Amino acid sequence: MYVKKVAVIGAGTMGADIAYTLALTNIPVVLRDVDDSALKRAQEHIQGLFAQRVAKGRLTAPDADQRFARIVFSGDPAALQDVSVAIEAVPEKMALKQKVFQELDRLLPPLAILATNTSALSVTEMARVTSRPERVAGMHFFYPAHMMKLVEIIAGSDTEPDVLKTLSRLSEEIRKIPVVVKECPGFVVNRVLTASMAEVMRFKAEYGYSAQEIDDVIVRHQIAPLGPFTLADALGLDIAWDVAQTLQAAYGDRFDPGPELPQLVAEGHLGVKTGQGFYTHNRS
């Protein structure tokens, strides 16, 4: 299937990074959100990413402007009418994702592919609220999406092989490495990552070390490029908590992150996006 245009639904951090990655390779993109302020923040974020490439000599200013112009920032459903692939990147709530998929099913051409960027939820459960479950799959990017190479391509119970091939080719076109995986809660990477993050968070609560001390040791010994608490703050603690709950329900208490993560979320401290999480962040 030829991909003429891609829509990204949800203009948060992941959605903006995915839209930038697509536009960088000259693929026309519609970045849709119902929140005008989210679209404005996404536009500023993407402009900043292009400006960084220009400053490093990786793009000329005219090239950056031309590629940025590939993105349409819109809250208008009519902007989706000629889209080949839609990538949903809204928060990790099944009811919300199903609502988005029902709307996309109504708006998009019959052969358009509906993809979800979910970290852990069932692709099949989302697909079956649409009239085209065979055209639904997972396309899971990793944070930060404009830098991380891996993309998990996830087949639901009804997904056609051609859909997986199209999403894999699209991933390669935007210079990513697609890996087709089976559907299960957390898929492959987050099943491993969330278990390790939960263990580290329980260790922090049990032994009283600070987030900074733990992150410093992990980075210094090159166990990971980012410490788990830095990563959680960047991802959003609400998302980390949603994923942890999904995987704990599926696999048991080894995915229990301990008391601090749910407490921070309950207090509205969600990491970088609110200015406070495991760390304090400057939001200016």
Q: Which residues are catalytic?
A: 152
Q: How many CA atoms lie within 13 A of 137 on its CB side?
A: 27
User: CB of 132 within 8 A of CB of 99?
Assistant: no
In this structure, which amino acid lies at residue 94?
A: M
Tokens of residue 118, six digits: 């979910």
| Angstrom distance (rounded) from CA 151 to CA 145 | 9
Cα distances (angstroms) measured from residue 239 to each of 7, 75, 186, 228, 260: 22, 23, 13, 14, 14
Question: How do 177-181 and 113-116 pair as beta strands?
Answer: unpaired
The DSSP string of 171-233 is HHHTT-EEEEE---TTTTHHHHHHHHHHHHHHHHHHH---HHHHHHHHHHTTS-SS-HHHHHH
Residue 79 DSSP class: G
Cβ neighbours around 145 below 10 Å, total: 22
Residues with Cβ within 8 Å of 166's Cβ and at least 6 positions away in sequence, in order, are: 1, 3, 85, 113
Token pair, residue 284, equals 């200016």
